Amino acid sequence: MDNLVVETRYGKVQGTKEGGVCVWRGIPYAKPPVGKLRFQAPQPPDPWAGVRDATRFGPNCVQFGNYLRTEHMGSREFSEDCLYLNIWSPAADGRKRPVMVWIHGGFFRMGSGSLAMYNGVSFAEKGDVVLVTINYRLGALGFLQLGEFGERFADSGNCGLLDQIAALRWVKENIEAFGGDPDRVTIFGQSAGGRSTGILLAAPEARGLFSQAIVHSGGIETYGDAANAGKLARQIMSNLNIGPQEVDKLLEVPVEKLVEATPPPRAGNGMEPNIDGIHLTQKPLEALAEGHGKNLRIMIGYCLNDFTKDFEPRWKEMSEQEILDDFKSRIGTGWEELLDYYLSRDPQDAPLVEKLVPMLIYNEFTYPAIRLVEIQEKQGAPAWLYRFDWLNPLTGYATHALELPFVFNNLHQPGVSGVMVGGGDERLPLAEFMHRSWIAFAHNGDPSVEGELGWPAYRSDERAMMLFNTTSRIAYDLNPEERKVWERAKGSLA
């Protein structure tokens, strides 16, 4: 008989079965961050008496954007009361299995741990892994920097990040009761979740809560600063007709009005984790270069077409000079040398945006990933580099997030096949290989799969990189000329 009633530090929870896997959904890892707890660091949950039902997903965080198909979320409820996690486990039997904690993406404005694509049954059933997904506060609820208006709001600009740390602390304290090993936790996430994973490598409060990390298309050198975050907060207050001396009124604003007052997303505008000097004091690569990750094993990678010419709709309406100015603001240091390289590399008649988009991918994902694995090598800590190259028949690209249903082995889930991913059975061996690679990393600290293509850790004398495709392969020193241009233009980053 499966043990579906598990006792946590805060009370008992009743789970359910999904196939042969035990599942607990909607477990609170913190108090509801509502009322006076809005814009405050998460607090431990209140204990409860009796047995709490954990068969349904908790509410998703209110979404600060309408870019995601919410019909594929496990919950149809959206609320400030959103700090819940979900667990898939082979059994709550006292065995200490590796644990994987998934941090969802969505530009820090949308998303949920209950998306069907993140279903953890295959990780538990095929991988003997305990899989955890979490919700965290998004948009202004998670990242509105109000520190300049009083010390009581000092944590407000990084509440979403502090939620993630609180969830990891809950896992550390409780996961053994669900069949997991609190000392073998791998964190992984994609896009905003990948950025979060990279930032957690540098967060002092997260140290000791995980031993491995996988960064999926996470721009680990893209983060906010307190000045930009404060500027955005003042703009939102102005949109709500709230003056600097009336900041407490923000606690009473209906959340729907807060969503309406929040400007559209743009990287670097402050609606993201920011270096506040309290919870984040360093850039991720700086922290790693100082040795803070020397005991961590890390995988990092990205998709071949994480950005495409359609990434920024405004590009279609811009003049060539406006496009150049936009890319210059995104690239920063080394712009002139990099521009010369990319303009000369592609055919002269190619559209300007198509020439420049590869530069944006390299700036956001490729070069920071190379620098991370190089830093880890110097620290004596193994790290692995990958790129997802499979071209989706629906789009012709290997776009942002396309690897996720392969990693989770969830091509069959609602909203995936025919909606997000095209193709047929030819995809299945790639999904199986990627899924087993992630499982191998969780178990062994090495993504190499027995009987499959070996995946060596990165070394600067070889520069090995896994290229995932229908026929996956290891590339050595992929595109060295491009890499050397970036090394001259950008230096070490750390």
> Phi first, then psi: what are they for 54, rounded to 5°?
-130, 45
Using an 8 Å Cβ cutoff, are 285 and 375 in contact?
yes
- Please provide the average confidence, as pLDDT, over all residues in the chain: 94
State yes or no: pLDDT of 266 exceeds 90: no
Q: DSSP state, 259?
A: H
To the nearest 10°, the Cα dihedral for 255, 256, 261, 265?
Answer: 90
Overall pTM surpassing 0.85 (yes/no): yes
Residue carrying the six token digits 């959340």: 255
Q: How confident is the model at residue 461 (pLDDT cuts 50, 70, 90)?
A: very high
Spatial CA neighbour of 356 closest among 322, 324, 311: 324
Give the distance, in angstroms, between the CA of residue 480 and the centroid of all CA atoms in the same chain. 28
State yes or no: pLDDT of 183 exceeds 70: yes
Using an 8 Å Cβ cutoff, are 57 and 26 in contact?
yes
pLDDT of residue 67: 55
CA 280 – CA 149 distance, rounded (Å): 19
β-bridge partners, 161: none
pLDDT of residue 267: 60
State yes or no: pLDDT of 273 exceeds 80: yes
Q: How confident is the model at residue 228 (pLDDT cuts 50, 70, 90)?
A: confident
Whole-number percent of the chain with pLDDT over 90:
85
- pLDDT single digits (tens) 390-423: 999 999 999 999 999 999 999 999 889 888 999 8
- pLDDT single digits (tens) 48-97: 999 999 999 999 999 997 655 567 788 889 999 999 999 999 999 999 99
pLDDT of residue 34: 97
Mean pLDDT of the 256-278 span: 84
State yes or no: pLDDT of 282 exceeds 70: yes
DSSP sequence for 108-134: TTS--TTBGGG--HHHHHHH--EEEEE
Q: How confident is the model at residue 219 (pLDDT cuts 50, 70, 90)?
A: confident
pLDDT of residue 417: 87
Most confident of the ranges 230-234, 437-441, 452-456 = 437-441
Sheet holding 464-468, edge to edge: 16-18, 21-28, 84-89, 130-134, 97-103, 180-190, 212-216, 297-303, 383-388, 464-468, 473-476
Tokens found for residue 53: 């039902």
- pLDDT single digits (tens) 145-179: 999 998 999 999 999 999 999 999 999 999 999 99
Q: How confident is the model at residue 268 (pLDDT cuts 50, 70, 90)?
A: low
- pLDDT single digits (tens) 296-340: 999 999 999 999 999 998 999 999 999 999 999 999 999 999 999
Find the range with the poorest average confidence among 126-140, 219-233, 290-304, 460-474. Answer: 219-233
> Phi first, then psi: what are they for 386, rounded to 5°?
-145, 165
CA 163 – CA 468 distance, rounded (Å): 32
Mean pLDDT of the 270-290 span: 89
State yes or no: pLDDT of 37 exceeds 70: yes
- pLDDT single digits (tens) 462-491: 999 999 999 999 999 999 999 999 999 998
Residue carrying the six token digits 């990958």: 386
What is the number of alpha carbons within 13 Å of residue 68 lying toward its C-beta? 25
Q: How confident is the model at residue 428 (pLDDT cuts 50, 70, 90)?
A: very high
